[in-house]
Every structure is written in structure tokens, then in C-alpha cells.
Amino acid sequence: MHLPYQRRPLHDLPDTPEAYDAVLAAVTEESLARLTAEGSFEHPTAVLDVGDTSLGVTSLLALAWQRGGDPRLPEAVRRSLAFHLRERVFREDNPGYPNLVVRDSGLPHARFVLRAGAHPHGDWPSTVWALLQSVDVLDAADGLLDGQLRRELSALALGYWRWLTEATFFDPQRAGNQAIGCVVGGLMLARHLPPRQGTAVRLRAMSLYDHGIRARRVRSRGELLPPEHGGAYDNNYGPVSLSFLAQAHRVSGEEVFAEDGDALARHLDARLTGGGFDIGGPRYSEQHCGFEAVLGLRHFGRRIGADLGRYRGDTRWARHAAGPDGGLDGHFAFMLVWQIQDTPGWHRAPSTAPARHQLRAGGVSVAFDDRMTPSLVEAAGTYYLPAAVDRQHGFGPVTDGLLLCRPFGEVRVRDLRGGGLAGKLVTQPVVDRERVLRHVRSLYVTDGTRLWVTVVVQRLAGTPHLLAGMPYAADDGERVRRTARPAGVTSAGHLRLTHPSAPGPEHFDARAEITQEQAAFALSPDPRVFGDPDESWRHLVSSTALEAGPAPGAPADLHVFAVRYGGSAEPYAPAFDAGPRGLTVRTEAFTALIGDAAGDAHGSPELTLEPA
């Protein structure tokens, strides 16, 4: 089975002015054919997220008219705007909405579902989206809207802003993308208001960003990130937040948005494989967004000098939101407007600066979590997740049923590049069942095609093995498919691929046609997309796993595990030599010195790396 949401890298989509004009031309023809007698552009089957959709199509047509001058568009824009003002503006409190701080305010809001009392929890983000669609139309209003219609739309946009910031709690869902979107709406609205009023709105927007978003940032992999549904980063919403930060920076020039966007972009670049596959999040594990991510990935990719466009988006939503039949839906149309207005192109070259939480070269990448344990390994077009054993998840030595990958102290990292090789040495102090402190030294080396992993630890009792990941997905042309087969993995010691023997959702067998996200929600106490799949996945007891035995020829006082991912299937037989400076490892491609755990004068283990 193919993974449903991770498809093509977003930077593969044509983004020339001609390509965008073709997109707008297609939108124009479909919209004019759909326009109802009442002036609605809504998709016929739309039920959820409907409060902003017709207005979103209106904003796209306003931009199309601005760029091409199609004489059919002014009347369609005016009719559709009149429809929204007449039929899609709600001033009575929605029954059951719990987040009001002012009752019966009379301020306008948009509805997630039009029927009163039906799913009112979505009204706050729907009103944010309606505000953003409104200001996009205002931005294109010159020569398009007469004075009266323009004044009505300006008053509506201000009413939306006041409902979001005065009549309700700010960001009631604790969703960073929604909150930053609201701030962007205020910053864009301020430009259409009289100077005194506009200044007040701008200052309020900046205050909300500082106290309502920045103050709640969550640290993950060395960066402070806007919170998203109770976590730090989500595959669907994280890139959306990045796009909102890009637009905030573009319209305000405030450096704080650039700084925070750079941090989020560095985090995304570190967690994303070279092939663009990624996994994990507090709301969605594997559901990737499409066009909503383009602006942020492109803007901040240029800023930090990284190829963020390798992100595999859901290209069913490559240009705009679409209904189940593929037809145009105006939801989130403001993101397409903004990306069309963002004329510089993609930065396509990978960042060459060493990153603590990633090792990447060519077609090989290793993303590391906060513990500096691999969270995702890519080699030979195959992606490996951390495996699970006895409720413990990760990559690392297993002895007496205990996985030694939870640091008990500071984790040290050293990076080296040269001679066509890239290497990273990670030293983790861990405690075993006898409370003995042990230093696990893990060396990762790649030539861009193969990945060598060498793990060294003081000799362990019993028959230990290295938990070396779970094969999960593989490239298949433009798509990613599920797999349970490792691609050319060899080990100096005995290597075996095991599968859970027990039934039940808490045991993940990679041979089953189920995604990690589906399995996670099966373990969730709330499987209706409001559960946390990352948290639910932690309830996994066991999984398919690569298990590598100790390498022969290691010094008597050490256990060494050596695994090679990718390349030929020829036997892997590294040589080891213990000396006063540490352990020397010789392979067919390199010689490395893994320094003694005692380290240098600062306690940091030495690393040298030379091609063979």
C-alpha cells in the first residue's frame, strides 16, 4: 500500500508566473461555471470548514482579475461578496460555543458548520480564515469594489478581528497555526484602517503574538517552537505555522517573525529525511499538507539556506483545497494568494552546516530526537522507525530486556566531514538495571550511499543485541509505500528481522497494511483525530525489529555492534583495535577512531575519520 498523504516534494511543482497564471485561469473557469444565482462559490458537497470557502474563491478571482484583467470577473466578485455579506455572516452566539468571554456581543463570526449548534468548536479558526480571505479581497479592491461594498467588507473584517480578540478566548484550541494566522489577519487588516485605528490593531496583534504565542513556545530538538495542539511540531500543521510566520514577516517586517520562523525551519530541516519523508506530531503523525506549506518552506528555505521544498506534500491539494471529487474548494485560499505574490523561488541545495539533530549526505540521512537517539533513518530509499521491545522504543543496545538509550546526563555530539564522508559521534551516559553508569558511544558514518552505524559500550552481561530499527516505508517513484523489508542491511554480528508474536493493536507488525498513524489512533483513548498519536504510539509494546548481535573481534572489555545500511549485500567484517586513545574501527570505506569515554580535557570523546 502507498502512504496516502506523503507524495511528491513540493519544490517539484512549477512555480513560474506562467504556471500560476494557468492555475488562476483554471480556477476562474471552474468558479464561473459553479457560481449560483445567489452568488455562492461553495463546493456543492461542502459541510465542514464551509464558513470561509466561497469568500476564498472570491479572493482568488480578485487576484486573477488584478493579474489578467478578465472582464468577466468584477461582476462575479461583487456578486459573491454580496452573498457572503448576506448569507455567511453570523452575529448571534452559536449555541454550545464554550469559548466566549462576552455574550451577545453582536460581533460577526464565521461558522465551521453552518447549522447552529453543530460542531461550534471550529468557529474560532473558521473566523480566522474568513478574516484572512477578507483582507486578501481588500488588498485587490482598487478598481474592483465600489466604495460602499469596500466599506462593508472593511467593517466586517474589523468585526471578525474584534470577535477573535475581544469576544472569545485567544487561541482556545492551543493551536499555533490558528493563533499565528489570527495575528497575520490583524497585521494585514491594520493597513486598511485609518492610521490611529490601524496602529491600535497592529500593536494588539504584536502583543498577542508575544504573550499568547511566544510565551508558550515548546522546546524540541534544540529549538523553541510555537505550540501545536499540545505538542511542539505536527506534520500537517507545523509547515502551516511556518507559512503564517512567513506572511507575518512579509507584511510587517518585524524581525521576531523571521527569528521564530528560522527556528521552526531549522527544526523541520533536521527532522526531515533527505527524501522528504517525515513522521510524528501531536495531532497527525503522517498527514502532510500541500499548498498551505509552500510559502513557509520556500521563504524560510531561502533564509536558512536549506532545501525545505523536499518536504513530500499531499499533492492532491497541490494548488488549492479540493473536495473529494477533486473540485475546487476555497478553504485556505489565502495561502495560494500569498505564495503567488511571493516571487523568489526555492533554495534547492541542502544545508552544509552540521546540525546537532541530523546527519545527512546524498541519499542517506539520520534524524535524531531530543535524546540524540535516531528517530528516522533513511538509506537506499528505505525509511526505518525506532523499534519497540518490552514497551521501550528507540535505537540502541538491549541487555536483560533493557534498552540502553535513555540518557542519564548530558549527551555529547561531535561532527566531522571530509574525504567524501560525513560522521557523527554521539556519547550517551546511561544507567543499567544494576544502576551502573555506562557510556554508549554511537558512531554514524555515511558516504551519501551507505550508512555505517557502530555502537560501543562496556561489556554487557548475557546475550545483548542492538535494536537497529524497524523498516517501515520505501520510495516508489513519486510515492512512498509501506514495507517490512530492510534494503541491503548487513551486520558484523548475527542479524535477524523479528515480528511480534502476540496479537492486538499494541503489537505493530510492519507486514500488516496499516500505517503508523492508524495504529497509533487505535491505541488512543480518543481516536477521533483529537488524540495525540505520538503519545498513543508510546503505548506500543512491541514491533517488527532489526536485531543485530555483537560484532566478532571486539576487545574483551567491550561490546561492539556494527551495522551497514544500503550498498551491496556482501558480508560486513570491520576490524577493531583498542588503544590508549580509544577504539579504532576499520571498514571497507573508512578508518575511524572513537575516543575513550573519559574524553579530552573537557570530557568530550575524540573522533577522527579518514577514508580507506
Q: Are 549 and 493 in contact (CB under 8 A)?
A: yes
pLDDT at 135 over 80: yes
| Sole residue written with cell 531549522 | 266
- Residue at 343: amino acid letter: T
Count of Cβ atoms closer than 10 Å to residue 265 Cβ: 26
Digit-coded pLDDT (tens) for 595-605: 987 788 888 89
The pLDDT of residue 529: 60
The pLDDT of residue 343: 87
Digit-coded pLDDT (tens) for 572-582: 999 999 999 99
Alpha carbons within 13 A on the beta-carbon side of 399: 22
Q: How far is CA 46 from the centre of its chain?
A: 27
Residue 87, H or E segment: helix 73-87
The pLDDT of residue 527: 64
Q: What is the DSSP letter of 253?
A: -
pLDDT at 407 over 80: yes
pLDDT at 147 over 80: yes
Digit-coded pLDDT (tens) for 263-319: 999 999 999 999 999 999 888 889 999 999 999 999 999 999 999 999 999 999 999
pLDDT at 526 over 80: no
Instruction: Retrieve residue 509's grid coordinates.
Output: 507488525
Q: Packing angle between helix 238-252 and helix 176-190, nearest 10 degrees? A: 20
The pLDDT of residue 445: 98
The pLDDT of residue 265: 98
Instruction: Retrieve residue 346's grid coordinates.
Output: 526555492
pLDDT at 123 over 70: yes
Find the mean pLDDT for residues 503-522.
94
DSSP string, 425-476: EEEEEEE-TT--EEEEEEEEEE-SS-EEEEEEEEPPSS--EEE--EEEEEEE
The pLDDT of residue 30: 97
**Which of 272, 250, 258, 243 has the alpha carbon at shortest distance from 178?**
243
The pLDDT of residue 87: 95
Instruction: Retrieve residue 463's grid coordinates.
Output: 546475550
Find the mean pLDDT for residues 193-200.
97
**What mean pLDDT, rounded, does the chain reach?**
95
Kindly report the CA angle at 453 between 517 and 361, in degrees rounded to 5? Answer: 75
CA distance 40 to 81: 9
The pLDDT of residue 40: 96
Parallel/antiparallel/unpaired status of strands 582-586 and 590-595: antiparallel
**Looking at the chain, how many residues does it have?**
612
The pLDDT of residue 599: 81
Close Cβ partners of 116 (under 8 Å, ≥ 6 residues apart): 94, 95
CA distance 3 to 316: 13
The pLDDT of residue 442: 98
Find the mean pLDDT for residues 175-192.
97
CA distance 519 to 278: 16
569 or 350: which leads in pLDDT: 350
Instruction: Retrieve residue 272's grid coordinates.
Output: 526531515
Find the mean pLDDT for residues 88-94.
97
CA distance 267 to 219: 10
The pLDDT of residue 601: 84
The pLDDT of residue 528: 62
Please, which contacts does 190-194 make with residues 24 or more away whose CB atoms are closer than 8 Å? 191/251, 192/135, 192/138, 192/154, 192/157, 193/154, 193/158
Q: Which of 98-107, 227-236, 538-547 is predicted least confidently?
A: 227-236
Q: How confident is the model at residue 531 (pLDDT cuts 50, 70, 90)?
A: confident
**Which of 220, 214, 81 has the alpha carbon at shortest distance from 137?**
81
Digit-coded pLDDT (tens) for 22-81: 999 999 999 999 999 999 999 988 888 999 999 999 999 999 999 999 999 999 999 999
The pLDDT of residue 312: 95
Percent of the chain having pLDDT more than 70? Answer: 99
Count of Cβ atoms closer than 10 Å to residue 95 Cβ: 9
Find the mean pLDDT for residues 160-167.
98
Alpha carbons within 13 A on the beta-carbon side of 422: 20
CA distance 170 to 28: 36
pLDDT at 530 over 80: no
| Sole residue written with cell 453582536 | 106
- Residue at 592: amino acid letter: A
Instruction: Retrieve residue 543's grid coordinates.
Output: 514491533
Find the mean pLDDT for residues 512-517.
93
Q: What is the DSSP letter of 328?
A: B
Parallel/antiparallel/unpaired status of strands 542-543 and 507-508: parallel
Find the mean pLDDT for residues 408-430.
96
CA distance 432 to 403: 9
The pLDDT of residue 568: 80
Find the mean pLDDT for residues 178-186.
98
Q: Are 261 and 299 in contact (CB under 8 A)?
A: yes
